[in-house]
Every structure is written in C-alpha cells, then in structure tokens.
C-alpha cells in the first residue's frame, strides 16, 4: 500500500479514533483523518493525545489521511480528567484567547467554577476574558458586584445578552482575527452568542448539537469554527466539573492577580494566606477589599491540589 506525506494541517475536532482536520488557509474544507496507534504509545499522561487546535503531520494512503505526529504546541489548555488515575484531559491547544462564558439566571453565576477556569488559563499562560451573559436575567446591583470583583482582580469583563442582542459588537471585537475558545457551563449561552455574532455559523453549531443529542452515549466534542470576520472560535461542550491540571499547590497564589499584588504585603514571602500571622490577604478579607468568594475558591482549590499533588509541592520527595 502506498503511503505519502500530506501537507500539515490543523485539528478541528477529535473523537475516539478519528479527527477532522483542515489546511490552515481554508478551515472550511474539513476532512476526516485517522489517529495512528503509535500516537497513543508511551503517552500515559494524556487520555487522548490529540486535541482541537493541534498542528499535525499527516500521511495519505489508500485508507485516506492519517495523523502521524503532533507538532510542538505553543500552549495547552487542560483539566484533570475524571477517574482514578491522575491524567490530563486536553481541551484545546495553540489558541490566542480563552473566553469564559458565565451567566445569570440558569445556570446561575458560580464564582468557584469561574475562578477554577481563570486559574487554569493563567497557569497555561493564555489571555482570558470573562463574559457575563443573560444580563437580562439579573438585577443591576447583583451584576455590578460580580463585575467589580473581577475587574478589581484585573480581568477584562464583558456583559452580554444574547436574548436582547446586547454586547455583541464588543464580543466580535474580542474574537475578530484570533483563535478563541468559548468555555463555560452548559446552558450559559455560548451557542446563542455565536448565533448573534454570525448567523451562518450559529446554524452549523445548532446542527451539530441536535445531531449529537440524537446520538448514543453523547460525549460531545469541542469543534473549531472559522469566523467570516477572520479568526476562529472553538465551541466546547458544557463542563460540569473543572479540576485544574498540574498546578503545584504553592504556585496557586500566583494565579490570583489581585492576591499576587496584595500578597507583597504579607510578612512571610511564601505566605499561603491561610493562617499565617501578618497576612495582608487575610487583612484585606476583613476590610472587604478582597471579596470572600475569591479567597474561598482559593482555599478550596489549594486543598484539592495538595491532596492530589501532595504537601505544598515545594519540597517534592
């Protein structure tokens, strides 16, 4: 059987044994490609060695295209996979911006969930924007408090309503010309926002979700969609649990921008902001300068990371 190299491509979608790929200059021309068994060999860290956004080397044979090799990644966004083993689940790679979509109403805003994802983006070195959707579902005061918490922490925050078509121009400005990942709980309005943004694209995402609904065991898959205005978005299935991957516990505090700034006032340079004396973070909590929700999510994640990665992670055995 003849086998010849084919031009490198970008992965648009991945399922158990196969993926969809396209040449970077025409992301609309998607083709299926098999995943070679050797991609799985010797990789115990990842549940699935290929992710949306990967640049891959291909070969073409009578069986069609096959992925031979994943080229070096410029970044990876991942979480800890569910299950007994400590494994990484790659969510997307090689992209410019993570757009964390949250909402009021249903589902309601979860600061714990938001903070977990923001920390993971920071750990991956990926710029992030926070979108608060369904602003038509909440009182002004409630929204204002959330905006203040995250703007004061140093994040860029955008309020939208897909229902009232508010904030859509600002959202296009955020996405234009870049590769972005839309990430957040199921039902926050990711697909609806995409519909508002580019009706043609919205139709395609709708088709995808209805076909997946009718499938068996519907594991849903992330998918990259090229945007007419330039750039692309990776629409992701709803997430219910988000456990950060690979963050050494003592580094967690570096991924809360406002705590990093305030923490320079702590007595101990390696203060974990839990019960140390003269802790600037605990003082800021008392005065209300640091919102309780931010410290709460920090403590929760810290305990989780310590139980997974052991101790404070500072003196690995």
Ligand X SMILES: Nc1nc2c(ncn2[C@@H]2O[C@H](COP(=O)(O)OP(=O)(O)O)[C@@H](O)[C@H]2O)c(=O)[nH]1
Of 68 and 306, the one with the shorter C-beta distance to Zn ion is: 306
253 near Zn ion, rule: CB under 5 A: no
Q: What CA–CA distances, in Å, run from 239 to 2, 74, 94, 100, 102?
A: 42, 24, 20, 11, 12
279 part of the interface to Zn ion, by CB under 5 A: yes
Query: Which of Mg ion, ligand X, Zn ion, none binds 186 (CB below 5-8 Å, type-dependent)?
Result: ligand X
Select the span of 81-89, 97-105, 214-222, 259-267 touching Zn ion (CB under 5 A).
259-267
Q: How far is the CB of 259 from Zn ion (least distance, A)?
A: 8
Count other Cβ atoms within 10 Å, centred on residue 218. Answer: 12
Q: How far apart are CA 207 and CA 18, in angstroms?
A: 20
Stretch that binds Zn ion, among 82-90, 91-99, 261-269, 285-293 (CB under 5 A): 261-269
Cβ-based neighbours of 33, under 8 Å, separated by 6 or more:
9, 18, 19, 20, 21, 56, 58, 64, 65, 66, 67
Locus of tokens 């990371």:
305
**DSSP state, residue 151:** H
Shortest Cβ distance from residue 161 to ligand X (Å)?
A: 4
Q: How many CB atoms lie within 10 A of CB 173?
A: 11
CB 296 within 8 A of CB 112: yes
The residue among 72 and 269 lying less far from Zn ion, judged by its C-beta, is 269
Cβ-proximal residue to Mg ion, closest one: 191
294 sits near Zn ion (criterion: CB under 5 A): no
Exposed, middle or buried by CB within 10 Å (0-12, 13-18, 19+), for 168? Answer: middle
Minimum Å distance from CB 273 to Zn ion? 4
The answer to whether residues 18 and 34 touch, using CB atoms and an 8 Å cutoff, is yes
Q: Which does 45 bind (CB under 5 to 8 A by kind): Mg ion, ligand X, Zn ion, none?
A: none
Interacting stretch for Zn ion, rule CB under 5 A, among 135-143, 171-179, 239-247, 274-282? 274-282
> Is residue 285 at the binding interface for Zn ion, with CB under 5 A as the rule?
no
- Residue 239: CB minimum distance to Mg ion, A: 11
Residues that bind Mg ion (CB under 5 A): 190-191
Binding interface with Zn ion (CB under 5 A): 266, 271, 273, 279, 281
């Amino acid at each position: 059987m003849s086998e010849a190299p084919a031009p490198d491509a970008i992965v648009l979608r991945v399922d158990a044994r196969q993926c969809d790929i396209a040449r970077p200059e025409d992301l609309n021309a998607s083709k299926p490609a098999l995943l070679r068994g050797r991609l799985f060999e010797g990789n115990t860290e990842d549940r699935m060695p290929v992710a949306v956004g990967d640049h891959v080397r291909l070969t073409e044979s009578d069986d069609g295209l096959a992925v031979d090799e994943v080229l070096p990644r410029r970044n990876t966004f991942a979480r800890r996979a569910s299950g007994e083993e400590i494994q990484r689940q790659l969510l997307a790679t090689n992209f410019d911006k993570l757009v964390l979509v949250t909402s009021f109403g249903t589902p309601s805003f979860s600061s714990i969930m938001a903070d977990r994802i923001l920390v993971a983006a920071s750990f991956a070195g990926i710029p992030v924007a926070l979108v608060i959707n369904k602003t038509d579902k909440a009182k002004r005061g409630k929204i204002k408090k959330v905006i203040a918490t995250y703007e004061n922490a140093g994040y860029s925050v955008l309020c939208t309503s897909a229902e009232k078509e508010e904030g859509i121009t600002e959202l296009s400005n955020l996405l234009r010309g870049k590769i972005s990942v839309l990430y957040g709980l199921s039902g926050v309005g990711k697909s609806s926002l995409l519909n508002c943004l580019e009706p043609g694209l919205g139709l395609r995402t709708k088709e995808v979700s209805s076909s997946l609904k009718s499938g068996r065991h519907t594991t849903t898959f992330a998918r990259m969609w090229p945007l007419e205005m330039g750039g692309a978005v990776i629409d992701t299935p709803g997430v219910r649990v988000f456990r950060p991957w690979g963050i050494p516990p003592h580094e967690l505090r570096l991924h809360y921008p406002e705590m990093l700034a305030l923490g320079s006032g702590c007595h101990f340079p390696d203060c974990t902001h839990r019960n140390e004396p003269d802790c600037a973070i605990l003082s800021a909590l008392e005065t209300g300068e640091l919102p309780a929700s931010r410290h709460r999510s920090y403590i929760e994640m810290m305990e989780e990371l310590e139980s997974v990665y052991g101790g404070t992670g500072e003196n690995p055995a």
